Structure 1
């Protein structure tokens, strides 16, 4: 079971997305509302058009619910035949939506935008998770997310088999080169964080083995080894592991590799003994998964009378 999204966040995000498409609430769809009678009902299938991993189905009911409310029409019934995290292929029906055709057509683009984006992230993540299977290393996401959609994209990473790193600047401290410059040293930066925010874990970015060992001495909980060639990365991991449990260093230091990571290097990097590979491309470069909402042909007996 994929840990879920906050329903309040989903509702707020869907409302903003609908405002973009329809204008300020209740808004309008000038094409659909002119050509489809409010009384018309029908069924639409949410369908995958490509191979991938589905995610974001959690938003479908909220989109259709809010559209129905804006149009003052009955809500559509949504029957899911796939779940977030499922592998899918072209033609796979993911959900069946039944209700007012106006609701289905007005909801179409917003639910597709969100579900296609999430499914693209889940698909990219699954490729990394499969490549790392059995290595002991996990793939992590980053903060390189679409503004306003971080919660959805990090949810999609989980659906794809990846692991979330920090959600933002508020939950884990990350000491980078600019922080070291501003504070004067790694030790000063870590000391300031410990004094000001004693409840957070502190991670330090290192480009060399010496920097990694300096960060350990200064009290880092977690190391981010950035852009290291594989031999240097392996030597740094070995040096850190040799210090674990000694001289105040934790018994287990978590180590993350980042920078210049590609799928064809994934197992090689994992073989150095790192715990994580963090991959910004999971969110910043994942293409969408092509999904469609296909309205099913109506039975002629059920069609509303034509406008006169």
Structure 2
């Protein structure tokens, strides 16, 4: 499935999210757009002002589908493409009022999701050559979870559980409330919830206990690198001698400066909340062409590099 082909449940969320965003921005109507003649047509294009990883086509398309299906959009890029500064991303043709009304909402989706995809790609490139995978968390902008998780995938990362319903993740407060890590794991398993059973460990004793309980995923939280390496070796030994198959995931305090050393310990996954909660939007603009003006040459400044 391509980056611009979404599962049905995500597409439904795209539609609902765009509806809310347009209600927020357009409200009872775009007063400024009424300056333009109702029958005026326009040609415009979206341009990148900085290098980035592009993401957000389905949301941008949906903005103009809801505003005015007569607006035609011809894309030069797909989600997951690397783009250069001054690169053309798409061309729009249609009623001028409609293009102007959808401009900001459409760009808001593109700049936010491209920002997430760009950060993810930096982490993915930093650990290239290791076995580790970069993974997101539930630390997303409220209402934008499915969109940001799509952006993580576009950037080359993997998705963790979507919410509280599709995976059990036992954390320190659950352990305290249950009376211990093994007690918490056994209580979770007794639920027969039919979802992955994951558990966080904060020290090597908890690592051993969780491995013995054969959790599906063991989250190694805020471990110094030398302790993390010991935990990974414990996991390898348990797999070798007990046929365990717990996935080992590092988390906590991870940055571009230390992610490579963490990956080099041999962990399977590295989860980073900052991928989706610390968003720096990519600088994008929309420009309408003056009568008789030519579109910028896409090949002059744009490089499409699909994953």
Q: Same fold (TM over 0.5)?
A: yes
Q: Structure 1: how far apart are the matches of 2:64 and 2:281?
A: 21
Q: Is 1:234 aligned to 2:229, yes or no?
A: yes
User: Aligned match of 2:17 in 13, 17, 20?
Assistant: 13
- TM-score computed with the length of structure 1 as normaliser: 0.90
Give the paired residue count: 289
Q: Structure 1: how far apart are the matches of 2:109 and 2:11?
A: 15
What secondary structure sits across from 1:289 in the alignment? Answer: coil
> Which residue number corresponds to residue 22 of structure 1?
26
> Which residue number corresponds to residue 66 of structure 1?
66
Q: CA deviation at 1:132?
A: 1.1
Q: Structure 2: how far apart are the matches of 1:217 and 1:238?
A: 14
> Which residue number corresponds to residue 287 of structure 2?
294
> Which residue number corresponds to residue 186 of structure 1?
181
Contact 1:190 1:219 in 2 (8 A): no
User: Aligned match of 2:126 in 122, 131, 135?
Assistant: 131
Residue correspondence of structure 1 range 26-45 to structure 2 within 5 A: 27-33=28-34, 35-45=35-45
Q: Is 1:219 aligned to 2:214, yes or no?
A: yes
Q: CA deviation at 1:172?
A: 1.1
Q: CA deviation at 1:66?
A: 0.7
Q: CA deviation at 1:238?
A: 0.4
Consecutive unaligned residues of structure 2, counting only runs of 5 or more, are 294-307
Q: CA deviation at 1:221?
A: 1.6
Consecutive unaligned residues of structure 1, counting only runs of 5 or more, are 69-73, 301-308
Contact 1:78 1:95 in 2 (8 A): yes
- TM-score computed with the length of structure 2 as normaliser: 0.91
Q: Structure 1: how far apart are the matches of 2:194 and 2:246?
A: 18
> Which residue number corresponds to residue 4 of structure 1?
6
| RMSD, matched Cα | 1.5
> Which residue number corresponds to residue 257 of structure 2?
264
> Which residue number corresponds to residue 306 of structure 1?
none
1:143-179, CA deviations, whole angstroms, 9 ceiling, x for partnerless residues?
1100000000000000000111111111111001110
Q: Structure 2: how far apart are the matches of 1:198 and 1:20?
A: 38
Q: CA deviation at 1:49?
A: 0.8
Q: CA deviation at 1:268?
A: 0.9
Q: CA deviation at 1:243?
A: 1.1
User: Aligned match of 2:274 in 260, 281, 296?
Assistant: 281
Q: CA deviation at 1:36?
A: 0.7
Contact 2:214 2:246 in 1 (8 A): no
Structure 1 segments of 4 or more deviating over 3 A?
Answer: none
Q: CA deviation at 1:188?
A: 2.0
What secondary structure sits across from 2:249 in the alignment? Answer: strand
What secondary structure sits across from 2:257 in the alignment? Answer: helix
Q: Structure 1: how far apart are the matches of 2:59 and 2:192?
A: 35
Give the number of the structure whose alpha-carbon radius of gyration is greater: 1
Q: Structure 2: how far apart are the matches of 1:283 and 1:8?
A: 21
What secondary structure sits across from 1:264 in the alignment? Answer: coil
Q: Structure 2: how far apart are the matches of 1:101 and 1:52?
A: 28
Q: CA deviation at 1:126?
A: 0.4
Larger deviation: 93-102 or 57-66?
57-66
Q: Structure 2: how far apart are the matches of 1:156 and 1:215?
A: 32
Q: Structure 2: how far apart are the matches of 1:147 and 1:198?
A: 26
> Which residue number corresponds to residue 89 of structure 1?
84
Contact 1:186 1:218 in 2 (8 A): no
